[in-house]
Amino acid sequence: MAETDDRPLKSDTLHLDDFSVKQQPNHQTVPKYYGEALLAAARVDTSILALTADLTAPTETDLVRDHLPDQFVMAGIAEANMVGVGAGLARAGFIPFVHSFSVFLSRRSFDQIAMQIAYPKTNVKLVGFMPGIDSLLGVSHQAIDDIALMRALPNMTILEPASPADYEDAVAAALAHEGPVYLRLYRATAPATPLNDVPPLQAGRIRCLHHGNDAAIFATGLMVEQALLAAEDLKTQSINASVIDCASIKPLDVEGILDVISQSKIIVTAENHTVIGGLGSAIAEIMAGNNIARPFFRIGVQDCFAEGGSRSFLFGKYGLSAKDIAAAIKQGLAS
Amino acid sequence: MQTGNRRSLKELRDTATTIRKDVIRMVARHGQGYVQQGLGAADLFTYLYFQELRFDTANLNWADRDRFILSTAHNTAVYYATLARAGLLDPATLTEYCLDGSPLEINASERLGPLVECTCGSLGQGLSVAAGLAMGSQRQQRDANIYLMLGDGELEEGQVWEAAMFAATHKLSNLTMIIDLNYMQVEGDAREVAAIDPVDAKLENFGWQTIMIDGHDFDAMFASFAAARADTDRPSCIIANTIPGKGVSFLEGQKSHNMVLPENTADDALQWLEADHG
């Protein structure tokens, strides 16, 4: 059928070659931003270890495996055990970076993370790839609730960089904080452009990527790109929106966020995650706690499970596109 | 610090009796608790803290200490009593066991301090952390062993087997797991809840050295812990058959997870322990 033929045969986001023996030649054209950052850090600090649960290439830890084999630990397909082993290694003085897909790391090892990492504040860095609904692999592989789970844990820091260009700073920020950190990352499919004129990503700081007083879009991870596209589109209609990168979901930059809100008529949050318990909830808590009322919209997965598909298809179907953000702002201004 | 000198059987037995009396007193204050498990594991705890583990009472954070993780974190009456008798905890604090605000919680937590190497209680997690500690210790080339006590019911947790495979894969020979095999869990006989037997063959097939012993026989403990230390290729598991309530004839063999211990029963038990060994 013609309509079937129009659909993408391969996800624009899934690195299928990582699951096959033969690597595709074009793979080398996109840098492994996270893998390179971790490797560089591990060369400097030999107490850094990379642990992975049979997902070495998809978590870019093949670079540590190949260049610093003594600092690589294959844990097998056993995430709960890997988290416990990471906690033990941290107690012995190492700095374990524990890798899997976000969905497995958070759901399959939540109790282990709570008891062996968050409670005792062990210096373990949890690194989850394939965030939100950004996956062809389907509902089993989609982490739509990991931010909510990690936010609920005392002592946990959560960083979700907007761009792979920020991964080096994200690794540095994770190391600068002695204690549990959850890094929520996606893999670059094209060379990343560094953000101009903004300070480096830091825990507890927002960054304003675009200025405008009509509305403020608080976004994280992949949704920052959508927010910037929405702001550009709105500008052509004389609507000025701020785009705020909330890479540090916990701790939140409460003061900075209140400052932005005080200058904005409409507040929109955008996250590649359920709207329950994530960034949108966190911003709502700040507003309610400070007696601030504004038209308020949470862009994200609307309390449902999704299915496998390309990023553009899923973001369109589940209301996570730039168009959805722009529509929310226009609705707010019209009311 | 333990010197490695072999203690006499009488010394170990007398210590175990003292610890059993502590267990009775600690649980009796509450009228109910983990008395049967405590009496059952008292000989193992005595051996561990008075013969096997190397630690420094003046520096609990000594980097080269042997580490002990109590994965059955509820078996704290015997654990705290042993720590107190070994000079690792002020014996006066035993009276605070399970009182509001006390760090001597019913499930051991890190509020107690560095002696609790990780907070268990959520079953199945201890072996993974022990494996991480063992791997870390090996990488740092420390002459330190990692010990873990696990309940038999805990073998029903899948994570235990993930960790068992991991420890064998990475040849964590500095790791010794002690299984307190009393076939007792909340629901009753562990063998009826799940097919946990044969524990030794299961772990042997997972790549472990396994040694079955009578968990009340100190001579067997000397031999089995020596064998565990001697194996430089595999992690070891000492499967210790223990009798709940051991040491007090009228409590022996009574299987009760959180047993009621009325005052008069506690008094009788203390008298029995006095008469037997006093």
Residues of B in contact with A87 (CB under 8 A): 118, 128-129, 132
Asked if the Cβ–Cβ distance from A111 to B125 is below 8 Å, we say yes
ipTM, two decimals: 0.95
Q: What share of chain A is helix, strand, coil (3-state, %, to 5)?
A: 40, 20, 40
CB–CB contact A93 B135 (8 Å): no
Q: What pLDDT does A9 receive?
A: 47
Res A20: pLDDT: 47
DSSP state, residue A26: G
Tell me if chain B has a CB within 8 Å of the CB of A164: no
Q: How far apart are CA B1 and CA A289, in angstroms?
A: 54
Q: Which CATH architecture does the domain made up of A207-334 adopt? A: 3-Layer(aba) Sandwich (3.40)
The partner residue sitting opposite A91, judged by closest CB among B117, B158, B159, is: B117
Which residue ranges make up each domain of chain B?
9-277
Instruction: Provide mean pLDDT across the span B167-184.
Output: 97
CATH of A10-185, one of 3.40.50.970, 3.60.90.10, 3.40.50.1400, 1.10.10.10: 3.40.50.970
> Which chain A residues are closer than 8 Å to B119 by Cβ?
115-116, 119-120
- Residues A70, B135: Cα–Cα separation, whole Å: 12
Q: Say if CB A299 and CB A268 are below 8 A apart.
A: yes
Task: Evaluate the CA torsion angle A257, A258, A261, A263 in order and state its sign.
Answer: negative
CB pairs under 8 A between A and B: 99
- Per CB-CB distance under 8 Å, the chain A contacts of B169 are 76
- What fold is seen in the domain B9-277? Rossmann fold (3.40.50)
Length reported for chain A: 335
Residues B37-58 have pLDDT tens digits of: 999 999 999 999 999 999 999 9
- What pLDDT score was predicted for residue B219? 97
CB-nearest partner of B133 from A83, A88, A96: A88
With CB atoms and an 8 Å threshold, state whether A94 touches B121.
no
If you average pLDDT over every residue of chain A, what do you get? 93
Output the pTM of the full model. Answer: 0.94
In chain B, which ranges are continuous DSSP H helix?
9-28, 35-47, 76-85, 126-139, 158-169, 190-193, 199-205, 218-230, 263-277
Chain B residue set in contact with A, beta carbons under 8 Å: 110, 117-122, 124-125, 127-137, 139-140, 158-159, 162-163, 165-166, 169-170
Q: Kindly report, residue by residue over B210-255, the tens digit of the pLDDT.
A: 999 999 999 999 999 999 999 999 999 999 999 999 999 999 998 8
> Domain map of chain A by residue range?
10-185, 207-334
Indicate the residue of A88, A93, A119 with minimum beta-carbon distance to B129.
Answer: A88
Tell me how long chain B is: 278
Probe site for chain A from B62, B159, B171, B206 (most A CB atoms < 10 A):
B159
Nearest CB to A75 within list B124, B159, B166: B166
Q: Give contacts of B170 with chain A, Cβ < 8 Å.
A: 73
Inter-chain contact A81–B110, Cβ cutoff 8 Å?
A: no
Share of chain A above pLDDT 90, in %: 89
> Rounded distance, CA A43 to CA A37, Å?
10
- In angstroms, the Cα distances linking B265 to A78, A100, B24, B36, B67 are 46, 53, 9, 13, 35
From the CB of residue A112, how many other CB atoms can be counted at a distance below 10 Å?
A: 26
CB neighbour list of residue B152: distance below 8 Å, 6 or more residues apart: B179, B180, B181, B182, B183, B184, B185, B190, B196, B199
Chain B hits for A153, CB-CB cut-off 8 Å, are: none
> Would you write out chain A's pLDDT as a tens digit for each of its 335 residues?
344 445 544 444 555 555 544 444 455 689 999 999 999 999 999 999 999 999 999 999 999 999 999 999 999 999 999 999 999 999 999 999 999 999 999 999 999 999 999 999 999 999 999 999 999 999 999 999 999 999 999 999 999 999 999 999 999 999 999 999 999 999 999 999 887 789 999 999 999 999 999 999 999 999 999 999 999 999 999 999 999 999 999 999 999 999 999 999 999 999 999 999 999 999 999 999 999 999 999 999 999 999 999 999 999 999 999 999 999 999 999 98
Q: Which tokens hold the place of B5?
A: 């000198």
d(CA A100, CA A51): 9
Contact status of A81 with chain B (Cβ, < 8 Å): yes
Give the Å distances, CA to CA, from A298 to A218, A289, A295, B14, B260: 10, 17, 10, 67, 54
Contacts of B131 in chain A (CB under 8 A): 81, 84-85, 88
CA of B113: which chain A residue's CA is closest? A120
Residue carrying structure tokens 């990168």: A245
Please check the confidence at residue B277 and state whether its pLDDT lies above 80: no
Contact A87, A61 (CB under 8 A): no
Placement of tokens 């609920």 in the chain: A152
Q: What is the mean pLDDT of residues B162-175?
A: 98
Q: Is A88 within 8 Å of chain B by CB?
A: yes
Report the gap between the CA of B162 and the closest CA in chain A (Å): 6
In sequence order, what are the beta bridge partners of A97? A50, A125
Q: What is the pLDDT of residue B188?
A: 86
Chain A residues whose CB is inside 8 A of the B121 CB are 115
